[in-house]
Structure 1
């Protein structure tokens, strides 16, 4: 058993195992379920390399987690009767197709339970990420731009509130509100995998991306949660997921979009994404997911970087900025300006937006500014920008890419 095989199993099965445990234990025992599943994972990591993998790894993990949960509950409430004989059956085996549309009711219930309207949106997203992915607190905190201690307090308050709730689908009057939070959770889950904030050796956690895509597609197909916005998110994740293999070269280094081999993109996923984008057109409201999916579709359709329709992309970014003032949207619009009006216009726009990019703008904002200053002959400023981008880089592969760009200046 390789460590990577075990990691992939955990990413693939974590949401299903958590959902089934909580379906059996109830939301009043979220912390017990988390501890029990961690106990099972640690035991598997210790025993499986010696004894070999069981025939049904997910079932093994579930049985061990269930027994650990029963033991913990008996210790906490020794006078409360517990029916050990009523151990729930093993989880159903995963579907063979990577993006099967089946969404088990337990997972759907857990997703919507985490997105309770009494919780702040950030708490909904954090709790769902924690229960569905098992990401470390520091990784979720980095994605939500908050401290580890603050996130731990937020999760504790969320668990206490949900302890009074039943694990069930929300009433129709709450569905739309909770669906928005569920979509935001899956969006962040994919981004965590696409540019992993985990161990420095991991640049792309593909299994996390695949799980986010699976849940997004299933959410769009399920009669309870289907909506145009859900199809738009599924389209967006599929179109970005199609490029995952092209983002790394044979040495594990990052490849920028202009240099990526489009032959390495997954054309089947592109077609699936375009179908979801067509379905998303049935809605009455234009969401940021729609526009981001349209941007991704333009890149997917272009036969080469040089043939990209930057005028259309600029139009999409202008519409996106009206809905989403995030740093990514601002940087994307500046890139579109660079290709339609030149580096001077892009640099002026980026400088205008610099204060809105956050106290520590992303490394690629500094790299974009360096590229445009280089094009305008401002080499010393470009070197300084690349140096700052290097200081902010999160992974060795990112640093190697930025170092190569800096070295190219001479």
Structure 2
């Protein structure tokens, strides 16, 4: 594109060229008039002189026009190069940076350049660039707003489902104390366990949507109880074997996130290992905290699966927590949402989770709990308050 003032500049350049051509033309006209009025013997030399002057005038006019067009072409080329550079800067720097800021949550009005000048004061290319930037920023901002609204609604609905299921679980616990019939009691226990697993799925969905589905617990809970609570909402909880835990407690705010992380790791361990094997939960107190180990006896992970698991566990969206839902697409065809939930909760709760190979060839998940999330054991009466216990086995089997 060329600015509108280029034609006016080229028009102004025609003035000097016209002056330079006018003098030879007048000289030719004068020579022709002189040849016409001169005596017969002098007409031929004067005519040749007039022809020479005419040729010289034509050459001068052609040279002047060539110079003028060359300068105009150079000016147009320089202007085009400037416009191409401006377009490249817009596409390579300004547009990506602007859209990145909009994706991070800034409103389009805050990231766009200053107010446009008065109409007619801005060259057409600059006005077109500004309009393109504004349209793209508003489109990205609208898309983010819609997605954030959907994620907020998803998180709210998941938290409502979780709250309703928690209430249903409490009602089932109350019914268990009312009925002494072993068959009825077994059915109620199985139903309560199903409710626990469904509530865990709702919690995971709320976490991935950017919500915080946990209450504000204040009292610490013994580590042993936290480990047992982590196995409660797992389908294969009967296969979980707990080793003795250190005599230490977990601070109140860290209890629910740690329980949720352990539940997701135990669910993966029991789901992806043979049904006749056990999953061992052990922990060890180290210099900087406590290390909890969840070890299965499955086939382990190949290199691609290990890379994908590490991506789900350690990817951090600092300004876009709702993007966790987009990280679940697995090229292998399976969706390990539990690993993503564990990774998000570990990042929020200052925990560290890693996956390795167990001595028997399976997977060993390690959860590191730092010292600031640990405290001394509370009084026995406050140690188990409001903490879910593992669901008893089905009717016909004794509870362990």
TM-score tier by shorter-chain length is under 0.3
Q: TM-score, normalised by structure 1?
A: 0.20
Choose 1 or 2 for highest CA Rg: 2
Which structure shows the bigger proportion of residues in strand conformation? 2
Which structure shows the bigger proportion of residues in helix conformation? 1
User: Relative contact order (alpha carbons < 8 A, sep ≥ 6): 1 or 2 greater?
Assistant: 2
Q: TM-score, normalised by structure 2?
A: 0.21
